[in-house]
Amino acid sequence: MKGNFKVFAAIAGLALAALACQAISSTSEPAADTPPFIVSTLPDTDEPAPDPDPTEPQSGSVIFSDDYSSEQWGVGTDADSSVEYVDNALKFVVFTDNYFVWSTPDDEVYSDIHMDVTVINNNTDSTTAFGFICNKSTGNDFYYFAVTPAGQYAIAKAVSGETDVFLTNNDEWADSDLIAVNASSYRVGADCGNGRLALYADGQEIASVTDSSYSSGRVAVFAWSGEEVGITTDVSFDDFVMTELP
């Protein structure tokens, strides 16, 4: 990882936390509730249906969804971070600078998926990064999709014992006008499968890359604090939905 990390893992669907912490060298600085799933139908007409917008995530069958009204994801609190259920959402508070914390809903292995989640900005610092992990192995090999309230993003690959590689923007954080700056919430989405990784913010595709290093694995949501000492990361996750890729 590009920073220190911690994982809160849900075990057997219960809110028990298995905690693993490892120090890894740091080389890069991370710079309103919505319904969990909406099905729209076309009116009865003889006209052909329009082609789908390629910039919009295309949803298949729902595999897993959670409005965080009951405890299923991994939780825990210590001097570095806190992941707890607060106000029917999964709240991440990170006290340590450049610290990467994630929580998983189960130990299932998934492949070829699309994920959506609402991230609530609790007046967090603009260098906070948040998003998804997918195709995580039993070690620390996985992809992750990161967005910041400053309007930056990255799609990255983590490899155990090595420095992460940002697959977007020549291994650097990138800016996007499609990510609202310091919004009260973000609907973040990701495609993970079929050799393609795509990141969405509020229904618009931000970036996509191709990589087939990892084909399946566990999923998680994460928060990543910036490198400035004394700044608190504070975001909440709500209305998580995972669907099959078409």
Return the pLDDT at 142.
Answer: 98
Query: What end-to-end distance do the CA atoms of the chain give, in Å?
Result: 31
Return the pLDDT at 229.
Answer: 73
Per the domain annotation, does 62 fall within a domain?
no
53 contacts: CB under 8 Å, gap ≥ 6: none
Per the domain annotation, does 55 fall within a domain?
no
Do strands 218-224 and 129-136 pair parallel, antiparallel, or not at all (unpaired)? antiparallel
Return the pLDDT at 1.
Answer: 52
For 24, the token pair is 């890894």
For 215, the token pair is 């084909």
In a 3-state reduction of DSSP, which class is residue 171?
A: helix
The answer to whether residues 115 and 132 touch, using CB atoms and an 8 Å cutoff, is yes
Domain count, the chain: 1
The residue among 174, 169, 181 whose CA lies nearest residue 152 is 174
**Domain residue limits at 153:** 4-24+68-244
**pLDDT (tens place) for every residue of the chain, 246 residues total:** 554 444 544 332 222 233 333 222 233 333 333 222 222 222 333 444 444 444 445 558 999 999 999 999 999 999 999 999 999 999 999 999 999 999 999 999 999 999 999 999 999 999 999 999 999 998 899 999 999 999 999 999 999 999 999 999 999 999 999 999 999 999 999 999 999 999 999 999 999 999 999 999 999 999 999 988 788 899 999 999 999 998
The residue among 40, 30, 35 whose CA lies nearest residue 67 is 35
Per the domain annotation, does 229 fall within a domain?
yes
Per the domain annotation, does 140 fall within a domain?
yes
Return the pLDDT at 40.
Answer: 25
The answer to whether residues 59 and 243 touch, using CB atoms and an 8 Å cutoff, is yes
Distances (CA, A) of 75 to 4, 6, 214: 18, 11, 26
Return the pLDDT at 184.
Answer: 97
**In whole angstroms, what is the distance from residue 194 CA to residue 190 CA?**
13
Q: Look at the alpha carbons of 200, 201, 205, 210 in this order and tell me if their dihedral is positive or negative.
A: negative
Return the pLDDT at 197.
Answer: 98
Whole-structure pTM value:
0.79
Per the domain annotation, does 31 fall within a domain?
no
Per the domain annotation, does 160 fall within a domain?
yes
For 189, the token pair is 């989405």
**In whole angstroms, what is the distance from residue 66 CA to residue 124 CA?**
23
Return the pLDDT at 156.
Answer: 98
**In whole angstroms, what is the distance from residue 121 CA to residue 148 CA?**
10
Beta partners for residue 121, in sequence order: 235
Read off the CATH number of the domain in which 198 is found: 2.60.120.560
Return the pLDDT at 227.
Answer: 86
The answer to whether residues 222 and 130 touch, using CB atoms and an 8 Å cutoff, is yes
Per the domain annotation, does 32 fall within a domain?
no
In a 3-state reduction of DSSP, which class is residue 114?
A: strand
Q: Look at the alpha carbons of 151, 157, 159, 165 in this order and tell me if their dihedral is positive or negative.
A: negative
Per the domain annotation, does 41 fall within a domain?
no
Return the pLDDT at 59.
Answer: 59
The answer to whether residues 202 and 148 touch, using CB atoms and an 8 Å cutoff, is no
**In whole angstroms, what is the distance from residue 66 CA to residue 185 CA?**
17
The answer to whether residues 132 and 117 touch, using CB atoms and an 8 Å cutoff, is yes
